[in-house]
A and B are shown apart, each in its own frame.
Chain A
Amino acid sequence: MDALTSPKITEAPGGIHQKAVTRRKHWSRYSSKTFYLFISPWIIGALALTLIPLVYALIVSFTNFDGISTHWHFIGLANYLEILKDGNTWYSLSRTLLYCVITVPISVAAGLGLAILLNQRLIAVGFFRTIFYLPSVVPIVATAIMWKLIFDRDAGALNAILAPFGAPAITWLVDPYVFYVLIILTLWGLGGGMIISLAGLQGIPSELREAASIDGANAWQVFRNVTLPLLSPVLFFEVITGMIGALQTFIQPLLLAETNGATSVGSVPFSNYLYMVNVYGQFFANQRFGYGSAMLWILFIIILAITLLVFRSSAFWVYYEVDRDE
């Protein structure tokens, strides 16, 4: 019931009522056009920079396009069939899933742990928070350089620490260790998730925890039955975004490879041969644009499927306090 059609107006001569209604109709037509005007950057941008490349990739995936030459033709589902039969596909997929399953839970859990630690009333909490968060904003190239340095055989910190114990100079940046270097490098950036968990924690009123404690709950029970459920939407968000990011990883393996420079897909050690590294190689080392596009679409579908699964599972473990109807 808004002011323009309030009962008062019906008392007045019909003319005024007419004007009020027309003004309202005029207003809503005006703002609909304006709405579309304001969001036009997104509509145009999404169409041109997202939808069209996606569709383009789909079409190319049915061809044997090599990126340059003009004689290519449609080969139907041949690319997709070949992908399913190629051992490399499954291997790289398994490495990627392993990477995802290791880094995401640890990141979220450790980030939560740090957030709990930082949620205490201590001095200089802001200082520590910055220290934990900073690595996640360092440019990827610098992160790779730093960790490559630490695990370097000759000038690396790890070998420096182990040397007094009699260890020889170990080359860490090769199979199978380099996979763990990749994982450690990734976990170093868990500060991003920590900040989000911290924000979530600070949104939980401490009276709730104290009330539970008064009722006799011990620390673990308070955490499990009060804090965790209230945090679950935040953790859910972190898991989803973390997974989607992890499944697309490919820059770090390239940067960690023996020779500098990204075109050296061939020098990525096998244990770091993630799915997207495979895709990148198909495009730029093998020049197989059609094949690579098909691999991209398969990854897209896999990510969608896994995301959907996690969404479905959320009914069991994510607790929403208010059903947000916005």
Chain B
Amino acid sequence: MMQSSTPAAKRRIGLSRLSDAGKYILLLILAMIFVGPFYWLFSTALKTIADLAAFPPQFWPAHLDWGNFLQAFTIVNFAAYAANSFILATTYSILITLSSALVGFGFARLKGKGKRPLFLIMLSTLMLPQIITIIPTYVIFARLGLIDTYWPWVLWGLGSSPFLSFLFRQFFSTIPPELEEAAILDGCGYGRIFWRIFLPVSVPVIVTSLIISFTGVWGDYITPQLFLSQQNTTLAVAMSVGYTDPHGNPLTNVIAAGSIFYILPVLIIFFFAQRYFVNGIVTTGMKG
């Protein structure tokens, strides 16, 4: 709290006038609303089939059925789908981080004719509705026989992402030019400058980029749904249709259990990495 010598400055402004306790209560209520769905998911995952049919639904099941979590792995080939998701997400995130770093570096440090208009064009594609290209891309890839393979992700990864390139570019712009000038005088080509100097200092941005792209593919539903067959598809798609009993009725409790496993990696990544993340947005995006 900024202390100033003049009494007027000590007057609390705006929300500061509400008592701290009031703010905490408000935060707690809001937090409960936001966390509510997670809680309900968890309690449903622990319910037996009988509990599911009971009305009104209990807030906490009388008998905890941990077996649902086991079933989540067995009814649907969870491990296989998870592996697919993991392979796709890792491949894509590594490729796109690398390609976006290259592009970002080019815009940040190199000179070229038409650099400014090209940069503006790249930024404007950020506003391009992604949906507009995905269905035509599907048609084109179908004619090229790339459907039901992992090649689309490789190609997308190599093509760089305007958003991530922008992120890298903003970050690289903050690095003092003396570093690269010294290297040039030593005879270094820009390839080496990029690889040996700029990349190592941009670890936070690299981590941010990897996380964003990894969780993006992990959670992506529409692309694997379109581009992959039911066998080769990712967890995202398998989760939405998998868990049914022999009659075809959805097993709500197992669906809930499976969902928990599905989102757990994302939650863990975010809990640990949110420091990088929020700082990344603050320092590279919003200030001048």
Contact = CB atoms under 8 A, between A and B. Distances in A.
B219 A140 contact: yes
B26 to A, nearest CB: 7
A261 B241 contact: yes
Nearest to B184: A27
Interface stretch (A82-90, A100-108, A247-255): A247-255
Interface string B257-285: 00100110011001100100010011001
A149 to B, nearest CB: 6
B227 interface: no
A39 B103 contact: yes
Q: How large is the interface on A (under 10, 10 to 19, 20 to 34, 35 or more residues)?
A: 35 or more
Interface string A30-60: 0110111111011011101110111011001
B36 interface: yes
A114 B57 CA distance: 31
B158 interface: yes
Interface stretch (B64-72, B121-129, B201-209): B121-129
Interface string B149-167: 0000001101110100100
A223 B100 CA distance: 39
B122 A248 contact: no
Contact of B221 (A57, A120, A141, A240): A141
Interface string B103-142: 1011100111101001000100101111111011101100
Interface in A231-256: 234, 240-241, 244, 247-248, 250-251, 255
Interface residues of B, number: 102
Interface of B: 1-2, 4, 6, 8-9, 11, 13-17, 20, 23-24, 26-27, 30-31, 34-38, 40-41, 44, 47, 52-53, 55-59, 99-100, 102-103, 105-107, 110-113, 115, 118, 122, 125, 127-133, 135-137, 139-140, 155-156, 158-160, 162, 165, 190, 194, 215, 218-222, 225, 236-237, 239-241, 250, 252, 255-256, 259, 262-263, 266-267, 270-271, 274, 278, 281-282, 285-288
28 contacts: A31-B110, A32-B110, A34-B112, A35-B106, A36-B106, A37-B106, A41-B100, A41-B160, A44-B158, A44-B159, A52-B140, A56-B136, A114-B30, A122-B23, A134-B34, A139-B215, A152-B252, A160-B59, A169-B55, A206-B2, A210-B2, A214-B6, A219-B14, A222-B13, A241-B127, A250-B131, A296-B132, A300-B132
